[in-house]
Amino acid sequence: MAHDGKEEDTGAHGTEPSPAETADREFASVLARLGIEMPSDLAPGVLAGYRPMRAMMELLRTVETCDV
């Protein structure tokens, strides 16, 4: 999640953000850092691709590679 010095947004109605919301914000911050402008009409498909990939990256963080 991007940190811009403001209080962290905890999602709608004060609840924790959903994994999809977290992924979308994370990806937006990546694109901003890289200076890439994503056409808005293409964004839903891009984010639909990023969300499962983020889940895969999380999976790999939990795997002890010596135990495959």
Binding site for other proteins (CB under 8 A): 26-27, 30-31, 34-39, 42, 44-46, 48-50, 53-54, 56-57, 59-61, 63, 65-66, 68
Least distance (Å) between residue 58 CB and other proteins: 9
Q: For residues 24 and 65, give the distance between their C-alpha atoms in angstroms, rounded to a whole number.
A: 28
B/e letters for 20-30, b = 16+ CB within 10 Å, e = fewer, are: eeebbeebeee
Residue 12 or 59 with smaller CB distance to other proteins: 59
Please name which of 44, 22, 25 lies closest in space to residue 33, comparing C-alpha atoms. Answer: 25
Pick between residue 21 and residue 26 the one whose CB is nearest to other proteins.
26
